[in-house]
Structures are given as structure tokens and as C-alpha cells.
Structure 1
Amino acid sequence: MKPFHTISVALAALLVACSGEQPVKTTAGGSLASCTTRSYEEIGGPFTLTNQDGVEVTEEDFKGRPTLIYFGFTYCPDVCPGTLVGIANAYRSLPEDIEPPQTLLISVDPERDTPEALKTYVASNAFPDNLVGLTGTPEQIAAVADEFFVGYDRIETPESAGDYTMDHTSLLYLMDEDWKLKTFFAEGDSNPEDMATCLAQLLRQ
């Protein structure tokens, strides 16, 4: 597992409590760093996962153009769909000459998020048109989460229809054409307008 102390400047990390509790924030200068100074070579790495069509893919399949990555799950009641809607709104706010990055939803709930479940979920008209859902074995999900310093935890909710929910880090990661982190967006500083401004600036470089 990648040690967090290898990152010289700490991330503004947000653990979303999808069980209904308040989010737990740890901030270390996140709001002070502009969108162009949030690139850490320690974040991001190789993976092997399965897309919503049941096809095995790796990071190599997404090289060649920028990629925006979000870790979430289909049973998430509000934070995940709200984030994906926000991404779609940001893309619509981009200048006409800027092509939106390809967009990945990596599930932290492989038990329920089968390719079939993801295929239905990512097809929502409210989400980005180019959204790809990725899942895998618990070991594969743990490995890719480790590469992106994503924390997640299963929370039992026996009183609910779903029996459990998943608390998880809520960050958006923008990878460049070579699968290197260009920036990240934390919850609270990634409204669609600001995200669009940042994306336009970085994607023009």
C-alpha cells in the first residue's frame, strides 16, 4: 500500500459519509492551491478492471486523451449522482473549442456494482455523455483505490433496503494523456463553473 507520507504536500481529502453522517474533512492547504498546482506524481497508476460492457480494460485503454476519474457506487443516494451531474454541468460550461475529458466512474462497491448494474447507471441522461463505469474484484478495486489514495469503508445499515452503504473519499482526478495527474478537485471547491474554468485552462496547455 502506498504510504501517505510520500506526498510532500497533503491533499485536501474528503471522506463522504453516504450513510447519512456529516462528511469528515482533512484539509492541508487544499483551498490555497490553485487548480494548476495540484499535480502529484505519487497519485495514479496502473489498473485492471472491467467496464460496463463486461470488457477487461487497463489504464492503457484511456491514454491518449485527458481522463476525469471519480470513485463512487451506484447505490449512493445523493453524493455520487450529484457529483456526476455537476461534472456534466461543468462540461456544458466549457468553451466550444475544448473537448471534455473522457470520464470514468470506478466503483468502490464491487459486490453490487456488476457490469450490468453499471451499464444501466452510467446511461443516465443527467450524467456525462462519455461516462464509463468500471468495476472488478475486491482485490482489483483495493489496488486501484490505493493508487489514487482513495479510502472507502462498508457501513452496515440493516434498517435500509440496501443492507449497507459505502463511505468513500470524494475527489475528482484529472489525468493527462500519459496517465499523469494534472489536478484534482475536492468536494466544496469544485462547483461546475470553477471546474469548467480550471479544465479549460489545463486542457489548453
Structure 2
Amino acid sequence: MPRRSILLFAAACAVIAVALIAVTVVLASRPAPGLRTGEVVSTGEARIGGPFQLVDQNARPVDQTLLEGQWSLVFFGFTYCPDYCPTTLQMLDATKQALGDKAADLQIVFISIDPERDTPQALNDYLSSDGFPEGVIGLTGTPAQVDAAARAYGAPYQKVGEGEGYTMNHGLTIYLMGPDGKFRSALAHDLGPDRAAEVIGRVMARG
């Protein structure tokens, strides 16, 4: 797939994500103290996230309770992704380092939108690569299970091409979920580790 087409799909996904958040996230009538212009924060009413049935990179069945008890960064991608997925994972690694002690309460969840190739073993091999954060939880499942999870988060994706050389277009939004498993904020994949850590820390402080 030409890079230009992938960029166009990514731009369209960004517009969809902004529209989704604008419609589904209920904001307080007055900005919370310290809230910066353009920062999106949920009051817990967002219709983003929900039940899912998947397996992790160790082939263990998991569901949405995986997100309970700590903060989570949920990101949709695939192991054959040439640039966006590895770049985002590296950014999230740097973000956790920038968070310092707060990173102990934060997990990264990578959900594959390419179940045809991304078996648990493939995810395990991919996430064990040098340069990626330690402890990333990789999830996959049947096509129907993956589609249900993506729909729950409003995460768009599309298979492009046929045969072994096909690729996957997908949204680039990172979803920050609270310890109750509910959506808190959306982060852009190119926000940068320092700014991402600042936003995450600010949202964590609000609980």
C-alpha cells in the first residue's frame, strides 16, 4: 500500500477519533482546575471501551477485567506494521520513563487488528524485541473477537491487499483507561513522551 494512502487513512481516522470523543465524552460545565485548552478528559460517561474476550501473548484468555486495578494505555495495531506501531511503542516506553514512579501504576495493552497473522506466539516474539517497553500485554483473538474489541473502542481498521503481502490500515489513537476500566482521555500517537507524561500525570491526579 503506498505510504500516501496510509497517511490519508490515518488522517481520516484522526478526524473520526476527534468526532467520536467530542460526541461521547461528557465534559464538566466548567474546566477542571489546571485543565489546558485542547486537553480532553472524560468524566466517566464516555462510550469508549467495554467488554471483550481475547487471549494474551501467552495464549491465556482475558477479558475487560484486565484493565481493572491500574491505569492502562490501550493501543490498536499489528506486528507487521512498518512504522507507526513500533514508533508508538517506543514513544510509550519513553513516556513511562518520563512518568517516573507513577509508571508503576500504568500498563500498556497492545491489541492486534490482524488476527490472521498475529497469533499469541507472534505477539510474544514481537513484544520481546529490543527497544519496546517491558511488560507490554499483547492481545489477539478470532476475527470476530478482535472486531468486537475494536468496535467497543471506536478504533477503525481496514485490510488492504490480498495474499501474504497484505497490510492493515488502522487508527492511531491511544486510549488512557482508569483503574475502574473506564475511558479517561485520548492521546495522539505523536504527542511526544514529555507531553504525554504530563497529560497522563494530570489525569491520574484527578483519579
TM-score (norm: length of structure 2): 0.81
TM-superposed CA distance for 1:38, in Å, is 8.3
**What residue is the counterpart of 2:188 in the other structure?**
186
- Cα 1:108/1:79, change in 2 over 3 Å: same
Tell me what 1:15 maps to.
none
1:104 to 94, 109, 113: 109
Given the superposition, is the C-alpha separation of residues 147 and 124 from structure 1 closer, same or farther in structure 2, using an over 3 Å criterion? same
Residues 53, 32 of structure 1: alpha-carbon distance in 2 compared, 3 angstrom cutoff: same
Question: What do the CA deviations read for 1:43-90 (whole angstroms, capped 9, x no partner)?
Answer: 000100000001010011331111110000000001100000000011
Equivalent in the alignment of 1:201: 202
Structure-2 separation of matches of 1:64 and 1:149: 23
Residue in structure 2 matched with residue 65 of structure 1 by the alignment: 70
Q: Structure 1 204/136 Cα, relative in aligned 2: closer, same or farther at 3 Å?
A: same
**1:110 CA drift (Å):** 0.1
2:70 counterpart SS class: coil
- 1:131 correspondence with 2:131: no
Displaced runs of 4 or more, over 6 A: none
What is the aligned partner in structure 1 of residue 95 from structure 2? 90
Tell me, yes or no, if structure 1 residue 51 matches structure 2 residue 56: yes
- 1:166 matched to 2:200? The reply is no
1:4 paired residue number: none
Q: Is residue 176–residue 183 contact of structure 2 (8 Å, CA) maintained in 1?
A: yes
Is the 8 Å Cα contact of residues 19 and 155 (structure 1) preserved in structure 2?
Answer: no
Residue 27 of structure 2 is matched in structure 1 by: none
1:143 aligns to what?
A: 148
The alpha-carbon deviation at position 129 of structure 1 amounts to 1.3
Further displaced range: 31-40 or 127-136? 31-40
**Can you give the 5+ residue segments of structure 2 that lack an aligned partner in the other structure?**
23-35
The answer (yes or no) to whether the contact 2:73–2:108 under 8 Å persists in 1 is yes
Residues 160-186 of structure 1 show CA distances to partners (whole Å, capped at 9, x for unaligned) of: xx4100000111001111111010112
Aligned partners of 2:106 and 2:132: how far apart in 1?
A: 14
After superposing the two structures, state which structure 1 stretch, 128-137 or 106-115, moved more: 128-137
User: Is the Cα contact below 8 Å between 1:51 and 1:57 reproduced in 2?
Assistant: yes
Seen in structure 2, the aligned counterparts of structure 1 residues 184 and 118 have a Cα distance that, compared at 3 Å, is same
Q: Give the number of aligned pairs.
A: 184
Identity percentage of aligned residues: 34
Report the alpha carbon displacement of residue 187 of structure 1 after superposing the two structures with TM. 3.6
| Counterpart residue identity of residue 165, structure 2 | D
- For residues 19 and 116 of structure 1, the distance between their equivalents in structure 2, rounded to whole angstroms, comes to 29
CA contact (8 A) 1:47 1:144 kept: yes
| Alignment CA distance shift 1:48-1:163 (3 Å) | same
Q: Determine which structure has the larger strand proportion and give its number.
A: 1
For residues 141 and 77 of structure 2, the distance between their equivalents in structure 1, rounded to whole angstroms, comes to 13
**Structure 1: which 5+ runs fail to align?**
1-17
Q: 1: CA distance between counterparts of 2:37 and 2:189?
A: 14
Whole-Å Cα distance in 1 between the matches of residues 2 and 178 of structure 2? Answer: 33
Instruction: Report the aligned-residue RMSD.
Output: 2.3
